[in-house]
Structure 1
Amino acid sequence: MEHFDEAAYRDSLIARGMEPGLATDVAANVAANRPRLLNKSVTKLLDTPEAMANEPATAIKAPSKTSSAPSAPAPKSTRKPKRAPQGEVSQKESQAKRDAVLQKTMEEVKKEQLSLFDIAPWDDDMRAIPNDIARTALFTVKNKRKPREALQGQPIYSYNQDVRITFSGIELRAEDDELVWQQMLEYSKRFPIGLPISFTFYELCTDLGWPINGKYYKKAEDSLTRLQASALQFQSSRLGTLVSLSLLRRFGILDRGKRSSRCQVELEEEMVYLFAGDHYTIFVWEKYRKLTPTARRLFDYFASHKQPFPLALDKFQQMCGSDTARAAKWKEQSKAACSELTNSGLVAGSWVNGDMIYCKR
């Protein structure tokens, strides 16, 4: 088991804005419960649909018999009672079982004050993204000069056919929003899930590799506002339906205009479900954040698979939410993304052959 440094964990909580007394209590609680909890392996609770199917269904009691005198027989109806389709019944039962497991898991996470790092650990020079998000068009690569769309209940393309997402909010883009969200996951990973964390715009822009000036502080604030105002309806065979999940539950600025000004955010507690069961991808942040949006989205796809399966150009365009009109131009853009990805060192090689994109790790 990985050694847990209680003092270092406490100091990291204080450095992120937590009161020293609370930080001491949280660190002690995590240290006390960590061995038992990690041995129990909470992450496996959400590993597969089969695991959820093993949860016992609620028993239905048969009506009790009575010894009272029989009443006169009711007239027989010639109309057969309506029965719900078998598939619909099975689907509702499966969803009920998933809901029970999700609730049980979240109660355990809250009770033990687990952090995202306890469930999905990654090193500080790495970042992470859930696979079910990496393979969707949630973060687009549209031209930055084109105004962002305001979307309401918009279906989001997913390469995985069993994942369905609808989105409400201002369009999110890979150029900034994807990176800012990943950095929020990084800031939050060592805090108990659902606890507010704080940071400065200086820290955020530094970690993103953005210039330190008012323009980029405003860019960061706008992105955080979009992430907080987002609403996702998420459904998959693994998790069932998660209702109204926001990429950031809360965002605010404390002491705005003062030298002591700090941002404060909270992640949705349900965000942990997307990571549970090792359904996430980690990558080298320094290289990843320097990629252009199209090259980064290409890496999202290849890195989120154990085997880098070839990707059709038209599927990649859908995954990017690209509005490039001509297929020939998109092919050239994809070739450029392959070259950039290869030169980054994140993969051994990537190239286009015919209408398919290939990758070698």
Structure 2
Amino acid sequence: MVKYDISTTSNQINSGVFMMPLDFAAWIKTTDRFKGMDPNVAMRSSAAKKEYADYCDRYETKIGERLEILRKKQEIRLEHSIDAFTHQNSDIPTKNLPLWHDKLRAIPNELVRSALFNARNHKNERDYMKGEVIASIGESEVRYTGQELRQDDETVWLQVLHLCRTEKLGTTIGVRRLAFLESIKWSPTKANYERLHSCLDRLSATNIEVKSKRLKSRVAVSLIRKYKLDDESKLMLIEIEPEVHALFDDCYTLCEWDQRQSLPSGLTTWMHAYFASHEKPFPIKIETLTSGAGVHFTAKADAKRSIKKALEKLVEIEFLVRFKIEKDLVSVVRKK
């Protein structure tokens, strides 16, 4: 087989710049054996055609080899990134989250029945809290330290938990930012990348203390242990606190993910998760609902109107069969 000088091509490949091989006419002009021939005659030569095919095969092989090298280098860089991210933590993770179906997302009951992830507009200014008691529906007590969390933060946390459920808690998981945005149905715009980073910043700078009858002791934990954006691999590296497992013992809510993503974020998504935490929801006062959702209305009529609109959406997506608002009491029937 005739050997060709493809050093320029090799340099391009080694630098990560993948150029297309020369077309037949250009190859004829640069190949010593055919330089003196009439190009039209050379291009009809069977020998030239065979040697050009060899050249293309050799080129393709070279690119394939280089791609494999680059793939292995990327894997090594990712391993190093994860090692550097986790080496300070010597905890040995011992427990997993419960396994749930890919079409569902899970959240502890005490949190979904509280205003921890409130239903206010995510664009409005957020307060900072320090050990404040969060409004809850039921007998649990939730204290929170950190920047105010809303329904967009809950969406991000639900997806993080979903990705972590197949690994031991405390294990670092890696996910591409674009894939994460697609999984929560946020378009890949600059504003949404920044919004995602802001959510992760808030979730990793939190402390929640949960106290309820089912928990043997008060559980204090951060929603995300830590996260890192790896610029080289374009991955988000995330860890969940092993102690989060205690919040999932026996009592957590499963939400239909497609249903949630079809709803407007705010009071409607909050109510979707709240009613999902009850197999047969009991009648509840309008005031209790709005307090649990962390929203305030100046007039009761406005609250009633907003709740009715949200309930209509929940019927529309077939999460609820029907609802009734009688005086100040809201009654719903879930679809089985």
Give TM-score scaled by structure 2 length: 0.70
Distance in 1 separating the partners of 2:252 and 2:156: 17
Q: Is the 8 A contact 1:228 1:248 kept in 2?
A: yes
Aligned in 2, Cα 1:274/1:243: closer, same or farther, shift over 3 Å? closer
Amino acid in the other structure paired with 2:249: A
SS at match of 2:242: coil
Q: Pick from 236, 248, 256: which aligns with 1:263?
A: 236
Correspondence list, 1:89-238, <5 A: 113-116=94-97, 120-161=98-139, 163-174=140-151, 176-238=152-214
Q: After TM superposition, where is structure 1 displaced by more than 6 Å over at least 4 residues in a row? A: none
1:252 aligns with 2:228: yes
Deviation, 1:209, is: 0.5
Deviation, 1:193, is: 1.4
Aligned in 2, Cα 1:199/1:326: closer, same or farther, shift over 3 Å? same
- Residue of structure 2 in register with 1:354 after alignment: 327
Distance in 2 separating the partners of 1:142 and 1:114: 34
Deviation, 1:235, is: 1.2
Deviation, 1:145, is: 4.0
Distance in 2 separating the partners of 1:350 and 1:206: 33
Q: Is the 8 A contact 1:302 1:309 kept in 2?
A: no
Deviation, 1:207, is: 0.4
SS at match of 1:234: strand
Deviation, 1:280, is: 1.1
SS at match of 1:211: coil
- Residue of structure 2 in register with 1:40 after alignment: none
- Residue of structure 2 in register with 1:291 after alignment: 263
Deviation, 1:349, is: 2.1
Distance in 2 separating the partners of 1:332 and 1:307: 23
In the alignment, structure 1 segments of 5+ residues that lack a partner are 1-14, 23-108
Identity of aligned residues (%): 29
Distance in 2 separating the partners of 1:350 and 1:181: 29
Task: Calculate the aligned-residue CA RMSD, in Å.
Answer: 2.3
Distance in 2 separating the partners of 1:164 and 1:130: 13
Give TM-score scaled by structure 1 length: 0.65
Q: Pick from 267, 291, 294: which aligns with 1:318?
A: 291
Deviation, 1:334, is: 0.4
Amino acid in the other structure paired with 1:115: N
Amino acid in the other structure paired with 1:144: H
Amino acid in the other structure paired with 2:163: Y
Q: Is the 8 A contact 2:96 2:245 kept in 1?
A: no
- Residue of structure 1 in register with 2:314 after alignment: 341
In the alignment, structure 2 segments of 5+ residues that lack a partner are 1-74, 83-90
| Number of residue pairs aligned between Structure 1 and Structure 2 | 249
Q: Is the 8 A contact 1:195 1:266 kept in 2?
A: yes
Distance in 2 separating the partners of 1:286 and 1:306: 19
Distance in 2 separating the partners of 1:306 and 1:243: 25
- Cα deviation code 1:286-338 (max 9, x no counterpart): 11122222112112222111321111100001111002221110110000011
Distance in 1 separating the partners of 2:150 and 2:269: 12
Amino acid in the other structure paired with 2:206: S
SS at match of 1:348: strand
Q: Is the 8 A contact 2:171 2:239 kept in 1?
A: yes
Q: Is the 8 A contact 1:250 1:265 kept in 2?
A: yes
